[in-house]
Structure 1
């Protein structure tokens, strides 16, 4: 894990100016990463359908439930079709045809029942996100120069200074997750350095 210090800027030109100031203070390009963070709730992060099903909060109309409903309906319809026409001593082709029609109708009813049940229950997934949108300037630092990087970011107009542990690979913060709560650099966010 790498130590990372980051600050938020409202525009790319302001973030680029901060990066230039970092370079002038001895930081190298491989240790500075600029990227845009979308507004809260717009990160395209959704829980996997499997996780939702196991938590009992499957979204309405999920494929797993519809498939199960169709399968159960098809089996029940086929059995009902065979039972009805066998009771009247129908020929084998008529019984097979009745089983097919019963399976088709049963599948339709099973899907309908599942969809009807799914739309009456509404589950909402809430993500609490604390990071504001903007251009984030992230700096790969060590214990010895983290305060210098934070001071440069703040002097350049950066806000919401934060500290993180993450994977820094090929000149960028590789495992950045915009939905995680940032760890503020409290003392540097409020006081002049």
Structure 2
């Protein structure tokens, strides 16, 4: 494994300009790679798509689902009982079913984790989507040059990682691994 310096760009044109500058600065074509990073939750890492088999926070929403369904069913049955003159003997049953569904929805929504949609419940920095340009930096001087160039070219979220770039591909890139952002001072 080697040190990799990477920066995110919003546009392909920015990546192409940065790649050209890195090659002019002495980095070889084999040391530089670029690719698009999907938004959190859309990395297609499981057989059914997405990043995880179950969405983060689903455990909490199931808990709220059960509580909301029971409470909604009781309230709905009570209201359905009042509707016996209109609905007949099925009033409490219809009321309980409708109330349970409304309670399920309210309960699950109230228990969901508020993580800004990132799936990141640990409060760690997460990798934002966009074009990622990564440079294999095999020594401290190469690291410094890559960081300076990415800063000058307005790369965002410049990070340092350990990994392998071979044949123009960051082979062990993990989109779910929180980035180790480089101090921008």
Establish whether residue 184 from structure 1 lines up as the match of residue 184 from structure 2.
no
1:21-74 CA-partner distances (Å, limit 9, x unpaired): 00110011100001111112211234469xxxxxxx8xxxxxxxxxxxxxxxxx
Displaced runs of 4 or more, over 3 A? 46-49, 124-127
What is the Cα deviation at residue 127 of structure 1? 3.6
Give the TM-score, by structure 2 length.
0.58
The aligned length equals: 124
1:133-177 CA-partner distances (Å, limit 9, x unpaired): 111000001223101011111101101100000122212211111
Q: Give the gaps of 5 or more residues in structure 2.
A: 46-50, 60-107
Q: Give the gaps of 5 or more residues in structure 1.
A: 50-56, 58-121
**SS of 1:4 mapped into structure 2:** strand
Establish whether residue 133 from structure 1 lines up as the match of residue 129 from structure 2.
yes
Establish whether residue 151 from structure 1 lines up as the match of residue 148 from structure 2.
yes
The residue that corresponds to 2:162 in the other structure is 165
Greater Cα radius of gyration, structure 1 or 2: 1
The residue that corresponds to 1:11 in the other structure is 11
Show the 5 A alignment for 1:1-193: 1-45=1-45, 46-47=51-52, 127-128=119-120, 130-143=126-139, 144-186=141-183, 189=184, 191=185
Give the TM-score, by structure 1 length.
0.55
Contact 2:5 2:159 in 1 (8 A): yes
For residues 4 and 33 of structure 2, the distance between their equivalents in structure 1, rounded to whole angstroms, comes to: 10
